[in-house]
Each structure stands twice: as C-alpha cells, then as structure tokens.
Amino acid sequence: MKSLQILAASILLASVSTFTYSCKSDELSRSEAERLLRIEAPKQETREFEIYRGYSNGEGKVIRLCKRLKDLGLVNYENRPYFIDAIDNMQLTEKGKQYVVNQRTHDSDLYANCKVSDLEFGGATGVSQQKGTNTALVKYTQVRKITPFGTALNLNYGPFEVSVTFTKFDDGWRINK
C-alpha cells in the first residue's frame, strides 16, 4: 500500500513539473502556434471594387476587369455607343451583391469590398525564435477557395505561404496584428 502511495505521489509530482515547465517555457511550439492560428488567421480575403458611373478608352485594364465581372454575372452596365471601349451606369447584380462585405459611396460612385476568397488554415511550416527575445516568426500555409470576384482578378488557387510574428506576453503568446 505504501509503495502505491509513493508511485501516485511520484506521478503527480512529474505531472505538475511538466505542466509548470510548459507554462513557463519561453519557446513557442509549433502546436501552440497552430492552435492560435486556427483561431486568429484570416478566414477570407476582400478587395475593394469601384462600381463607377463610367469608364473610357484610356482605362483599358479597368475596362477588361469590368468585362470579366460582367461575363461572370457580377455586374451590369451599358456600352457607350459613341466610344469603342467605354461603359456607363455599372451596377452590381444580385449575384454580385452576395459577395459584398461592406460598401461606401463617394461622389455617387459605389466602392464595394467584395469577398474574393475563403481561406482555410493549412498548417504551420516553421517556427523561428531568436534566443533571448520575446518574438517568434511563424510561417504557415493557407488554401484559397476562390469566389467569382477572385476569378475576375485571376487569383491563384491552392496553398500559399504566410509569415506572421508572435510576441510572448505574461499570459502567453499572441499574434502581432
């Protein structure tokens, strides 16, 4: 019976020591970085689109983007009959409106922040911490799920790598924003 009590006390002491060490550790583990990133990493990407009254010939790049948005059913506009490559009265369609995260107007033009992709956390690929500092650089992957607005911008599908800095505070590690 005495040996069972000694064994139980030894196990308890080892558990408390391990817990205390892990809480006091200045090192950021990959698993802790992943835990925090799953909570705080961006879940979507947005871009601002200017839904303008009209564009003309000199704005070729914008005109091409507007044509792609129209081909994808995200906007409607009228072609100016007196210009070869010009548009008037552009508006978001119902399909386009479902990707609007927020919007503002300026001089009767609409500026819409539209979701271009959903982001999924892929995993931490590396943790680098300089000895004696309270910061760590963490690289991780995210995977894009492109929306039609992202397609119009020719965003790349698939995983991409992101770097973020963590800082150690008295209550643990936090992602710098």
How would residue 84 be classed by pLDDT, with cut points 50, 70 and 90?
low
Q: Give the pLDDT confidence of 113-129 residue by residue, as tens digits.
A: 999 999 999 999 999 99
d(CA 56, CA 42): 36
Is the distance from CB of 129 to CB of 28 less than 8 angstroms?
yes
Q: Same domain, yes or no, for 99 and 126?
A: no
Q: Which residues contact 81 (CB under 8 A, 6 or more apart)?
A: none
pTM above 0.75, yes or no: no
Could you give the percent of the chain with pLDDT greater than 70? 76
Q: Same domain, yes or no, for 32 and 51?
A: no
Domain limits at 129? 28-44+117-175
How many C-beta neighbours within 10 Å does residue 70 have?
A: 17
Is the distance from CB of 171 to CB of 152 less than 8 angstroms?
no
Q: Is residue 10 part of a domain?
A: no
How would residue 55 be classed by pLDDT, with cut points 50, 70 and 90?
low
d(CA 56, CA 44): 32
Q: Is residue 62 part of a domain?
A: yes
Q: Same domain, yes or no, for 121 and 39?
A: yes
Domain count, the chain: 2
Residue 8 pLDDT > 70: no
Mean pLDDT value across the chain: 81
Element spanning 146, H or E? strand 135-146
Q: Is residue 6 part of a domain?
A: no
Sign of CA dihedral 90, 92, 94, 96: positive
Q: Same domain, yes or no, for 125 and 171?
A: yes
How would residue 99 be classed by pLDDT, with cut points 50, 70 and 90?
very high
Q: Is residue 23 part of a domain?
A: no
Last residue of a domain, one of 115, 140, 156: 115
